[in-house]
Structure 1
Amino acid sequence: MSSRIFAALLRDTDGSPATEGESTASDDPEVRTDGGAVVDGADDPSSSTDTADASVITRLRRSRFLESLPFWGPPGLLVFFFVYGAISWNFLISLTGWEGLGAPDYSSLSTAAYTELLSDASFIAAFRNTIALLVVFTALSLVVGLFLAILVDQQIRFENTFRTIYLLPMSLSFVVTAIFWSWMYNPRIGLINVALRGVGLDALTQAWLSDPRFKLAAIIFALMWQFSGYCMVVYLAGLRAIPHDQYEAARIDGASTVRLYRRVIIPQLRASTMSAAVVLVVFALKAFDFLFVLFGVNPGSSADILSVMMFRVAFDRLQWAYGSAVAMVLFLMALSVIGPYLYLQYRRGEL
């Protein structure tokens, strides 16, 4: 009875009553036996294609990729052209015999420049000095920076003052640092020799930048003075990130201060060590202006590095193809350091 009354109330617009058993939702989609719904026009290929195209266009319009394109697109094109394009062109020049005059001849490409590098005594000396500079400078800077970070981390007075003093050399350019240390190493009026004479150690005074035995060591010491403060800041941030509970637990277990840092604290500073080491290696590879101010284009076989050799060969001797080959070796050295670091960062999910 109630179903008949409800059917009478739901009449069609033409006034005809809804018959009993007739679906009251005639406009609804037909329901399949598998629980799905048959959409009107689903069998029409043109209708489904239009719907798919519309959905693709809608997704593109709402895509963050397109929204951000005006911001990163132009810089990306500039970087691609002026950085990666320049690297590719430099590699192409290294395969020619171009001497900087006229247009390079790309019709006959060869690896003669790279073969010549392997038998060039000046390249071998510069490569050896570059490796020594990278390894010794990076290792000493990390050790000194870690030692300074541990000292500053002891809640000493005037901590900010000491931190600023140690970090200040990092703000100086290589040119300023080279001029400063050229005066420090001066054999007559330099502060180092004057201090040695003042304490009666005249026999230890040296011509630090003229004697081949001390050239590379003097360069490494000056660069270490400039960048050890940066390592200190990196290590200090790593030390402050370690929970204080670990210090207390180690001391409760009877660990001495040396054992505490060697077994508990320093192993947790691997990320800080890796980050600082990569930056130090990159700056060591860019130490051209430091050596150029000190020695010019001819620092001698005991202090020559690849960046200075590249400049000397390309701009002083006008052997552009040979200089481009040296530049590619420098690029591969930098890539061999930065590439694994970026890969590790990606594996850790930090990129």
Structure 2
Amino acid sequence: MRNPLTVLRRRLSAYRRIRTDGGTASAGSILDRDSVRSAPFWLPPFLLVGLFIYGAIIWNIFLSLTDFEGLGSPDYTALDLENYVIAFFGGTPSWSSLSIEPVWNAAWNTVVLMVSFSVVCLALGLVMAILVDQGIRFENTFRTIYLLPMSLSFVVTAKFWLYMYNVDTGLVNLLFEAVGLGPVEIVQNPDLKLAAVAFALIWQFSGYAMIVYLAGLRAIPTSHFEAARVDGASTLRMYWRIIIPQLRTATVSALVVLTVFSLKAFDFLFSMYGGYQPGPSADILATRMVREAYSNGNWAFGSAIAVILFIMALAIVAPYIYTQYQRGEL
């Protein structure tokens, strides 16, 4: 009778056959695979991300289908789309006696802020990148100065611009008085609230767009510039017809990051206006979501707004990720 231990050793040896022609193993042990051997490094963060990010997203989706109001445990036995119907059309939900307004105003403000902030940031970033790319002196100093605001948090930026917009001592109003426009109440003016937020965010993130465009400009061969000059193209025509079209990848990359930041502007609005209610003219989906959950106790309805916000962000990021995957850059 053969020794079972000997048989097991022979089978393991056969399973671990290694080619002797200098190639890789044709059949290796599962324990010898790189993915398994490196598991102690990638498995813990993978599980943590899966639990606290993707798990939380999935749980939030289920929560938005309930009538949870923050007390007790959610009832997952009767799931429906009532919160989404209320979000789009308004009305009085079955789990409350108070009527809830639709989120169209907050959604519109979110889109306006996202578009105006992103477009102006890209335009300013492109202009600054072109100017810095001309080989000016102290280039590194200018790049640092332009990029420095991005290192600040939304809270710091909000407090800084709250001081800048001050009616009595703010620099913005001092400039208005210097040109004869007089002091202007910016922070509390319904017509200027959203513009004030967009301007401050543009100041903070235009330097990021400049860095992305500058990297794109430096990646363009100098022969393209020289060929355009030899053909007699003016500087404006050269950039418009030849250089800027080659910055499409940089534009898309910066646009995705900027739009996602604009969707996350809750910190800025909360810090500038001191709470969940910046007013109808500056209310965005993020502030409406937190106000419904924490102030009004409509946790399920706030979760539904969070899902809508997540879908908006996914609609921006997913095409970019898919395009990068198709190009083999992921």
State TM-score, norm by structure 2.
Answer: 0.88
Report what 2:70 is aligned to. Answer: 100
Q: Is 1:180 paired with 2:160?
A: yes
Please list the CA deviations of residues 140-199 of structure 1 after superposition, one character each: whole Å capped at 9, or x if unmatched. 000000000001011111111111111110000000000010111112221111122123
**Residues 86 and 102, structure 2, Cα contact 8 Å, conserved in 1:** no
Identity %: 56
The equivalences for 1:1-351 within 5 A come to 53-55=15-17, 58-120=28-90, 121=101, 123-202=103-182, 205-295=183-273, 296-351=275-330
Local SS of the residue matching 2:225: helix
Structure-1 separation of matches of 2:280 and 2:102: 7
For 2:111 and 2:238, the matched residues in 1 are separated by: 33
**Conserved? CA contact 1:122–1:301, under 8 Å:** no
Q: 1:122 to 1:107 in 2, by over 3 A?
A: closer
Instruction: Name the aligned partner's letter for residue 187 of structure 1.
Output: V
**Cα drift, residue 258 of structure 1:** 0.5
Q: Is the 8 A contact 1:235 1:273 kept in 2?
A: yes
1:22 corresponding residue in structure 2: none
Amino acid at match of 2:194: L
Whether the 8 Å CA contact 2:15–2:29 is kept in 1: the answer is no
Task: Give distance in 2, aligned partners of 1:169 and 1:101.
Answer: 41
Q: CA RMSD in A?
A: 1.8
TM-score, normalised to structure 1's length? Answer: 0.83
| 1:10 corresponds to | none
Residues of 2 paired with 1:301 and 1:49: CA distance?
73
Letter in 1 for 2:145: I
Cα displacement (A) at 1:323? 0.4
Structure 1 unaligned segments of length 5 or more: list them.
1-47
8 A Cα contact 2:165 2:171, kept in partner: yes
CA contact (8 A) 1:177 1:290 kept: yes
8 A contact 1:215–1:302 mirrored in 2: yes
Distance 1:89 1:287 in 2: 23
SS in 1 for 2:80: coil
* Aligned counterparts of 1:134 and 1:198: Cα–Cα separation in 2: 32
- In 1: Cα distance, 2:272 partner to 2:31 partner: 58
Deviation at 1:341, TM superposition (A): 0.6
Secondary structure of 2:77's counterpart equals coil
1:310–1:323 CA contact under 8 A, matched in 2: yes
Shift of 1:58: 2.6
Q: Tell me the secondary structure at the aligned position of residue 180 of structure 2.
A: coil
Residues 274-327 of structure 1: CA deviation (Å, up to 9, x unaligned): 111111011111110100011121111110000101100000111100000000
CA drift of 1:200 comes to 2.6
Note the residue ranges of structure 2 that are not aligned, 5 or more in a row: 1-9, 18-25, 91-100
**Which runs of 4 or more aligned residues in structure 1 lie more than 4 Å from their structure 2 counterparts after TM superposition?**
48-57
**Residues 11-46 of structure 1: CA distance to partner in whole angstroms, max 9, x if unpaired?**
xxxxxxxxxxxxxxxxxxxxxxxxxxxxxxxxxxxx
AA aligned to 1:341 is Y
Distance 2:174 2:74 in 1: 54
SS across alignment from 1:58: coil
SS of the counterpart of 2:134?
Answer: coil
Q: Offset of 1:53 from its aligned partner?
A: 4.5
Amino acid paired to 1:247: F
State the distance in 2 between where 1:179 and 1:122 align: 30
Give the aligned length.
303
Contact 1:178 1:294 survives alignment (8 Å): yes
The structure whose Rg is larger is: 1
